[in-house]
């Protein structure tokens, strides 16, 4: 009886060991399969949504590294939901041009739909927009006579946004000062160091309002140029999914009224 019992125990132990061994192999196989599937899924995502680098124009207060500007909020919306990584680097205008020309960036923001500057080579870029419409306008002090013609403007001392120098120089306008910092430009005009300030209306309107100068500075009648803002991306297989994503998101925030409300709130 003891012999049978021992035999039964040994057999039972063998069966248990067999089951445990097979269970271990099955568990290991499941784990390996799961890891392989996850890695494969990650590779598929990386292939489907490649990493994108964006060179973003440093233009306080509307777009800057602190993330508080209206164009910061819009860019966040445009890239939201894209499955791949998106790296945004802020540059002043000249460094942005170099980043785009060297291929360091797949896209740049804030772009416009007009002829690019001479030192920006957009051989195979697509403009995605419009986000908003801007004008290059003349600002003068409240007590100054209006400026209605280009000929009148050329007789005055001019301070200009550095971003528009190429354009105004082609018109024959010679600036006395040109700066990237729009707040300093507004100060120059208010203190009488120049007779007129040239720049994009949206950014300068915001600074004049924020600094309480609406009773001291006004817009002249003269409008030099109008543009639409947006994003510009290289056209190739790497950027195609991201570009399609941005187009879809831009349409959605425009159709929903979010874009209009955001501009009004800022």
Residue 223 phi, psi dihedral angles, 5° rounding? -120, 125
245 and 175 housed in the same domain: no
143 and 223 housed in the same domain: yes
113 and 138 housed in the same domain: no
233 and 223 housed in the same domain: no
160 and 199 housed in the same domain: yes
Query: Could you report the per-residue pLDDT of 99-115, keeping only the tens digit for each?
Result: 888 888 999 999 988 75
Q: Per the domain annotation, does 237 fall within a domain?
A: yes
- Token duo for residue 63: 């777009």
Q: Per the domain annotation, does 22 fall within a domain?
A: no
102 and 127 housed in the same domain: yes
Question: 198 forms bridges with which residues in the sheet?
Answer: 138, 160
CATH number at residue 200: 3.40.190.10
Q: Please give the chain's pLDDT, 266 residues, in tens.
A: 433 333 433 344 444 344 434 444 444 444 444 444 343 434 444 458 899 999 999 888 889 998 889 999 999 999 999 999 999 999 988 888 888 888 889 999 999 887 555 556 666 889 999 999 999 999 999 999 999 999 999 999 999 998 888 889 999 999 999 998 889 999 999 999 999 999 999 889 989 998 999 999 999 999 999 999 999 999 999 999 999 999 999 999 999 999 999 998 87
Q: Per the domain annotation, does 37 fall within a domain?
A: no
156 and 190 housed in the same domain: yes
180 and 119 housed in the same domain: no
Q: Per the domain annotation, does 126 fall within a domain?
A: yes
- Token duo for residue 243: 């570009």
Spatial contact of 230 and 113, defined as CB atoms under 8 Å apart: yes
Maximal C-alpha separation, the chain: 122
**In angstroms, rounded to a whole number, what is the distance separating the alpha carbons of residues 256 and 266?**
18
Structural domain boundaries enclosing 111: 52-132+228-265
Instruction: Say how many domains are in the chain.
Output: 2
94 and 175 housed in the same domain: no
164 and 213 housed in the same domain: yes
Q: Per the domain annotation, does 151 fall within a domain?
A: yes
Query: Could you report the per-residue pLDDT of 114-154, keeping only the tens digit for each?
Result: 755 555 666 688 999 999 999 999 999 999 999 999 999 99
Q: Per the domain annotation, does 245 fall within a domain?
A: yes
160 and 215 housed in the same domain: yes
Nearest to 201 by CA among 114, 258, 135, 118: 135
């Amino acid at each position: 009886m003891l012999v049978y019992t021992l035999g039964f125990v040994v057999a039972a132990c063998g069966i248990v060991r067999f089951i445990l061994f097979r269970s271990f192999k099955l568990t290991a196989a499941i784990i390996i399969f799961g890891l392989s599937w996850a890695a494969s899924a990650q590779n598929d995502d990386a292939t489907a949504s490649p990493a994108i680098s964006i060179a973003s124009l440093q233009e306080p207060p509307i777009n800057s590294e602190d993330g508080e500007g209206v164009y910061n909020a819009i860019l966040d919306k445009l890239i939201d939901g894209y499955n791949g990584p998106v790296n945004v680097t802020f540059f002043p205008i000249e460094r942005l041009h170099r980043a785009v020309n060297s291929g360091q960036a797949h896209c740049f923001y804030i772009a416009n739909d007009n002829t690019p500057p001479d030192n920006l080579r957009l051989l195979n870029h697509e403009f995605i927009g419009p986000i908003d419409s801007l004008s290059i306008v003349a600002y003068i002090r409240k007590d100054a006579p209006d400026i209605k013609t280009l000929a009148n403007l050329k007789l005055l001392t001019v301070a200009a946004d550095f971003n528009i120098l190429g354009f105004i120089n082609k018109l024959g306008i010679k600036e006395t000062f040109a700066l990237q910092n729009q707040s300093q430009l507004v100060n120059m005009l208010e203190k009488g160091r120049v007779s007129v300030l040239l720049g994009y209306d949206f950014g300068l309107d915001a600074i004049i309002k924020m600094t309480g100068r609406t009773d001291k500075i006004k817009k002249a009648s003269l409008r030099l140029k109008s543009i639409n803002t947006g994003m510009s991306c290289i056209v190739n297989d790497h950027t195609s999914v991201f570009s399609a994503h941005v187009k879809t998101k831009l349409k959605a925030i425009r159709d929903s009224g979010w874009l209009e409300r955001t501009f009004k709130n800022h």
